Amino acid sequence: TQDLVAKIKHNANKALEHGHDNALAPPPGITADPPSEAVTASTLSETNISAKTGAAAYPGSNETIGTLVRVRADASAQRLTTNHGVPIGDNQNSLKAGLRGPALLEDFILREKVTHFDHERIPERIVHARGSAAHGIFTAYDELSEFTRAAPFTEKGKVTPVFVRFSTVAGERGSVDTARDIRGFAVKFYTDEGNWDLVGNNIPVFFIQDAMKFPDLVHAVKPEPHNGMPQAGSAHDTFWDFVSLMPESTHTLMWAMSDRGIPRSYRMMQGFGVHTFRLVNAQGVSHFVKFHWKPLLGTHSLVWDEAAKIQGADNDFHRRDLWDAIEAGEYPEWELGLQIFTEEQADGFSFDVLDSTKIVPEELIPVRPVGRMVLNRNPDNFFAETEQVAFCTAHVVPGIDFSNDPLLAGRIHSYVDTQISRLGGPNFHEIPINSPIAPVHNNQRDGMHRQTVHRGKVAYEPNSLGGGCPFQTGEMGFVSFPQRVSEDKVRGKPEKFADHYTQATLFWESQTDWEKDHIVGGFRFELSKVTVPAIRERMLSSLVNVSKDLAKEVAKGLGLSVPKAMPKALSEKVDPEVTQSPALSLTALPGTGEVRTRKVAILLADGIEGDSIARLHAMLIKVGAVPVLIGPQLGAVKAGNKQALEAKATLENSPGVLFDALILPDGEAGVEVLAAQKQTNEFIANQYNHGKTILAIGASSKLLVSAGAVKSASGTKMADGLFMAAGKDLEKVGASFIDALSKHRHPLRGGA
């Protein structure tokens, strides 16, 4: 067969389609093998062999490329053709009967081009339409055979390729990145026992308990149907009408109104599987499990004023951030942690683990780290990969199984179903980004756009003509966990599902004061946009059950007095295991404390003192931060130092909200120029009010005064994260600046 593969490897013409020979090779100096020729030449489902798992990827790439290589195209040095390979002589003019005559129906080149164009959009996702994705690898810390036989965990150090898509929920495909919303965190593991999709969110709980309510929830949060407003936002009547009538959503509302709803970056969010799943080991023993992704960069957020302003400054803020980091070789990384517990333990909890509006507090079941995920390659093509990737909760592998969470049950159906209309038919598994690296063999046939060329006449089972193949694997394959069931068929909910407030209160009580302020701010903003007073009041009466303080503060912003508490569905008092969980505060999630990839704005103008800027610039580069030189205009500035400083961005095109920190230069003349720019004050004031780290060297301290950040240029009492320095102690102040930058934000200052 090797000979045969070599012979049929390429139709000579087809080979050209796949680009230059070296398009398939790893970058120079990298020793890892590129995908084998057998893989390149194979049909999609027959020889996408699992040899591609288990090996480390070379930097900037990873082994999933194997399934994609077949379809990668590179047009450089190629001739222009129709879709059927016919060379095109003229791509500028349609075919006409005479230069001023009518266009001809015969013009198959024009018609093919326009027809294809007419059909190049597909339906966007019903929810999570706006997203960004990247390739990467997951590496297991250890084998986990005690709990599961799932392929990624069978060996210490085992590498499994992944493709991960992050998203907002409510907005349409072209909507803003920094809306207040839940974020999707969907991971496709290409395991050697088939694809496993862990389709999670950045918040560990959900608005509803039963899939039956999902279409209602989504209809309520999406733009209102009569006028199509608002885009990518929950601050409107229908959303709050619905959730105020659904007290089970209160816990998730607390998270969504907190800073978790406005992450700084996809790279700085946690991910959660949300539902309770099962791990099943080779002996068939099952444990319950909750999945947690924890970013090494820490979990960090924006503040609302900043998020709203970023929407104007850069619609693609999160997409760009993820893309740029990966292009720069700053691969984002998460640790996967598991909360593993038995059914007996679950039975003893004060809440029901089948209820997706509840967490399992880490005080009860600690999170056990089991592996790490690194995203190390951007997609080649947004549509082919990020848009066409189809995540489905039904995609589990042997060793992973479902619990009876009724929300999960609906999802197992919904995702496969929606792909059929979104991607145009039942063969979406053959789209390269979705195709497993494990071989696919079954008797399913045909359908729209079938690509696999099945050989032989047998497409049924049992058969003798095909030697009984493909054969069942019995115990070796996926076996559903045989949970005993013996109850009446009913529509209803278990008792503990009726407790809608205990964990909302737990979340509130676990926040620091500034986090509580932000939650109040979130509720105030959203509810003040609601036009129907009765909805505001109803929501407030629900919040009284979470915390009287919360309700009181929100009421103030709405000009209301605190109403009576909404009657609870569960009358008896719940006795929770914990009333505070420090792990629920963002302050518990600083990450490694590095400042890598943090963007630091440095303002420049002719006449600044360049040497101190050059020294700070070098210090920032050394620790992996990203200094960005910003001037009144692009290009070199006169700064008195040997090495020219060059502004790469302008005050006009890059407002302060796009940066994590700010450095203002010394030099009277330059500071005067900056002071005269109309954007400077706002740049600094936003940085100050949003709690960013700021360093003003020498003369520029007066810019801080005019922006309202300090009272006097000689002031000694400085707010958190605010530094003024003379040129001489620069190294020391630079180090303090970097340390302050690693705190992400100084929330006790200004409006932050």
User: What are the residues binding ligand HDE (CB under 6 A)?
Assistant: 125-128, 131, 165, 167, 184, 186, 199-201, 206, 211, 214, 274, 356, 391, 407, 410-411, 414-415, 418
Q: State how far the Cα of 545 lies from the Cα of 567, in Å rounded to an integer.
A: 9
Both structure tokens of 213:
């309510």
Q: Which is nearer to ligand HDE, 17 or 172 (CB)?
A: 172
Nearest approach, Cβ of residue 744 and ligand HDE (Å): 25
Indicate if 442 belongs to the active site: no
Nearest approach, Cβ of residue 414 and ligand HDE (Å): 4
Phi and psi at residue 203, to the nearest 5°: -125, 135
Indicate if 20 belongs to the active site: no
Q: State how far the Cα of 366 lies from the Cα of 364, in Å rounded to an integer.
A: 6
Nearest approach, Cβ of residue 515 and ligand HDE (Å): 23
Name, in order, each residue with C-beta under 8 angstroms of 409's C-beta and a sequence gap of 6 or more.
Answer: 211, 402
Please check whether residue 190 is in contact with residue 148, taking contact to mean a CB–CB distance below 8 angstroms.
Answer: no
Q: State how far the Cα of 575 lies from the Cα of 632, in Å rounded to an integer.
A: 61
Nearest approach, Cβ of residue 410 and ligand HDE (Å): 4
What separation in angstroms does the CA of 396 have from each of 190, 277, 322, 483?
11, 10, 27, 17
Please check whether residue 56 is in contact with residue 376, taking contact to mean a CB–CB distance below 8 angstroms.
Answer: no
Nearest approach, Cβ of residue 356 and ligand HDE (Å): 6
State the DSSP string of 36-82: PHHHHHS-TTTS--GGGSSSPPPTT--TTHHHHHTT----TT---B-
Q: How many other C-beta atoms are found inside a 10 Å radius of the C-beta of residue 286?
A: 19
**Choice among 48, 62, 201, 434 that is catalytic:** 201
Polymer length of the chain: 752
β-pair partners for 662: 601, 694
**Choice among 48, 62, 128, 202 that is catalytic:** 128
Q: Which is nearer to ligand HDE, 64 or 154 (CB)?
A: 64
Burial (CB count <10 Å: 0-12, 13-18, 19+), residue 618: exposed
Nearest approach, Cβ of residue 339 and ligand HDE (Å): 15
Nearest approach, Cβ of residue 235 and ligand HDE (Å): 21
Q: Which is nearer to ligand HDE, 203 or 685 (CB)?
A: 203
Q: State how far the Cα of 659 lies from the Cα of 693, in Å rounded to an integer.
A: 10
Q: Say if residue 470 is preceded by a cis peptide, omega within 30 of 0.
A: yes
Q: Which is nearer to ligand HDE, 394 or 705 (CB)?
A: 394
Q: Which is nearer to ligand HDE, 184 or 607 (CB)?
A: 184
Chain residue whose CB lies nearest ligand HDE: 184
Q: Say if residue 295 is preceded by a cis peptide, omega within 30 of 0.
A: no
Please check whether residue 329 is in contact with residue 375, taking contact to mean a CB–CB distance below 8 angstroms.
Answer: no
Nearest approach, Cβ of residue 478 and ligand HDE (Å): 21
Q: Which is nearer to ligand HDE, 388 or 700 (CB)?
A: 388
With H, G, I as helix, E, B as strand and everything else as coil, classify residue 341: strand
Catalytic residues, which ones?
Answer: 128, 201
